Amino acid sequence: MGDAVFLSAGGPAGFAARDPADPDPVADTKATAAFGLGLLAAVTGLAVGGIVPATVALALARQARAELRTGEGWRTGAGRVRWAERLAWLGIALAGASLLALVVFLFLRGVRFGPQDFPPTVD
């Protein structure tokens, strides 16, 4: 009897058979592109070049999240969108830390420690 229920339902007990007219689940291309750009942003973040791909990745991730919401379960890639956002923000943080380190370095380079040697015309 258990096998008859399994065969008549088309899957595990309690689940309806998948309609052949239903579309196949497909990976969202914007989610994949956003993940790739987020990864690029994280890798190039210290070189300050990660700001551009991070910005594009965040924009694509927002669009992909909207597409996944309206896709009614037929689009996949929510995990890629989450990681794209995390990696993009990591790239922005690394670029910010790099710029902060550069400003501190340039500030400290201009500071002279020790006695100041004035020219003879200065009292």
Reported as a single tens digit per residue, the pLDDT across 2-20 is 444 434 444 455 556 667 7
Give the model's pLDDT for residue 18: 67
pLDDT in tens, 95-112: 999 999 999 998 888 876
Q: In this structure, what token pair is assigned to residue 2?
A: 């258990």
Task: Kindly list the domain boundaries of the chain, sorted by start residue.
Answer: 25-107
pTM above 0.75, yes or no: no
DSSP assignment of 45-99: GGGTTTHHHHHHHHHHHHHHHHHHHHTTTSEE-HHHHHHHHHHHHHHHHHHHHHH
Q: Mean per-residue pLDDT for 16-35?
A: 84
